[in-house]
Structure 1
Amino acid sequence: MLQLLCTDEVRAELKWLAGELGMERDQEVLRERLTAGLAGLPGDLVLGPAAARLRVWDVTGGEESRTHTREALASDRYLRLLDALEGLLRRPPLRAGAAAKPARTMTRAVLKEYDRLAGSVDHALELPPGAARDAALHQARKQAKKLRYAAEVARPVLGKPVKRLGKRAKGLQQLLGDHQDSVVAQETLRELAVAAHAAGETAFTWGVLLGQERAGARAREEGLPSVWRTVSDPALRAALTP
């Protein structure tokens, strides 16, 4: 049986598994968002069989994502990953730095993730609104999550400064996560509008919801610099610097 010998290989396989299992969760999140949006509209803005079309979309997409999940969990690749994780726990490939003082090692790890996040956010803010910026903001969300998790691991050693950083990184992650959910929802709403039009139904309601999502995404982008300033507070970073 194939053995994954290094953490990079295990990380890559965990990323694969997250992608496979994430389809079903993404479908659930999107369904809840669209259902809530539709339910929140005044009755005079809900035209045509919008609720019925949304249910059809959910049943079709839900079955596809569940099938994807079952196939992933039944695969040899998944079983090999379980073996690799068990081996990693039995004999972790510790580096020389593992023998160093925990505070120094963890500080470096947290600041490394912080600098990566700063680069991602700065890059996103430099881009004009559009698909490229949306993709960059999605990448920044991933980096914010990494920083948050690194801060949580380091908190018992580094104390309050890293706890504050983790809390602020979580707030940034949530803002960017909501923005990404809106980006996905907008594309789905457009697809629903096209399908409704092709079936001879009015696409008005889907257009209203799409407009709401675009306005919300724009507001979150406008609020990003303010949220980012709380994370990139020089005093907070200085408190972590050795």
Structure 2
Amino acid sequence: MSHPHEPVGEWWRDQVAALHRWGRLVLRDEEDSVHQMRVTVRRMRSVLATYRPFLDPEQTEPLRDELKWLGALLGDVRDAEVLRKRIRRWAAEHGPAPSGVDALRAALAERQAVGRARLLPELDGERYRTLVAALAATDGFPWSDGAPGRKGLRKRVRKSWRRLESAVEAAECAADPGERRLQLHEARKKAKRTRYAAESLREVFGKDAERLADATRSIQSTLGDLNDSVVTIRAIEELPERDDTLLQLLHTEMTAADDAEERFAPVWKKAKRSKVRGWLDQPTGKSK
């Protein structure tokens, strides 16, 4: 029997199809395929967590566990890939890479190769095929007793938003710069969850969900820039030796991290506007 919130099911079917498609492209080593597959996994894990009270745990908890396993495999490859591209761009702007940068790039290339060596057999293996089959078998979003109403759906997104608010508040209250960045990293994760929930509800809440998705995407992007710099800084600091060029790269990334933090404040201010998030507190039936 159809349900008025079947569009959520359509969104889910799109993600299942995308996962299968990107998996094939990863095996063919297509450009950006690891990134896109990882994003798809994150979307699916995120919405399963957001709507967890409305789902049958016997069916969905194993799916969450297996998606977490797959996401970790993809992350090992993608994280090294991101850093390699970032350092390649920097090296192109500063001439031929001297020995220190070469050493860092070689370490990252090795990390990426090891990750791919673990990932590819799994994507061609029984565990992954079983996961894809289980996801496809849900035939729409796996509600336990039919999709909840608008009020229930809005409540789950509101809870994700409030977790994001709490993470940002914790960052703003942090006295230590390192603690502030840890809290901003948490805020980034909360922004992603809110974004993916809003995206899944575009056909239910229309422009309201679109505005929230756009705002949280901007938060995710800005804090993603911060995270990329922080991870690059950590990779440089883990090297046993650092020459002048590596120290120059380190300084560049530290400056970029500071810049991303500064850019976050206006992005967050814009996201907090009533036009963006006010609909989350509306009584049922009042959303435009």
Q: State the TM-score, normalized to the length of structure 2.
A: 0.69
Give the deviation of 1:226 after TM superposition.
1.7
Q: State the TM-score, normalized to the length of structure 1.
A: 0.81
Matched, 1:67 2:127: no
Q: 1:78 aligns with which of 111, 118, 128?
A: 128
Aligned to 1:213: 253
Aligned to 1:157: 204
CA distance in 2, matches of 1:111, 1:104: 10
Q: Deviations over 1:129-174 (max 9, x none)?
A: 5443333222211111111111111111212122111111100000
Matched, 1:204 2:244: yes
Matched, 1:25 2:78: yes
Matched residue type, 1:69? L
Aligned to 2:278: 238
Q: 1:222 aligns with which of 250, 256, 262?
A: 262
CA distance in 1, matches of 2:277, 2:113: 46
List structure 1 segments (4+ residues) > 6 angstroms apart after TM superposition.
none
The 1:162–1:93 alpha-carbon spacing in structure 2 relative to 1, beyond 3 Å, is closer
Aligned to 1:199: none
SS where residue 278 of structure 2 aligns? Answer: helix
8 Å Cα contact 2:101-2:245 kept in structure 1: no
CA distance in 1, matches of 2:97, 2:77: 29
Matched residue type, 2:274? P
SS where residue 5 of structure 1 aligns? Answer: helix
Unmatched 5+ residue regions in structure 1?
197-202
Residues 27-36 or 83-92, more deviating: 83-92
Give the deviation of 1:30 after TM superposition.
0.7
Aligned to 2:66: 13
CA distance in 1, matches of 2:190, 2:237: 29
- Equivalenced residues, count: 226
Q: Provide the alpha-carbon RMSD of the alignment.
A: 2.6
Unmatched 5+ residue regions in structure 2?
1-56, 284-288
Matched, 1:104 2:140: no
8 Å Cα contact 2:80-2:109 kept in structure 1: no
The percentage of aligned residue pairs carrying the same residue is 34
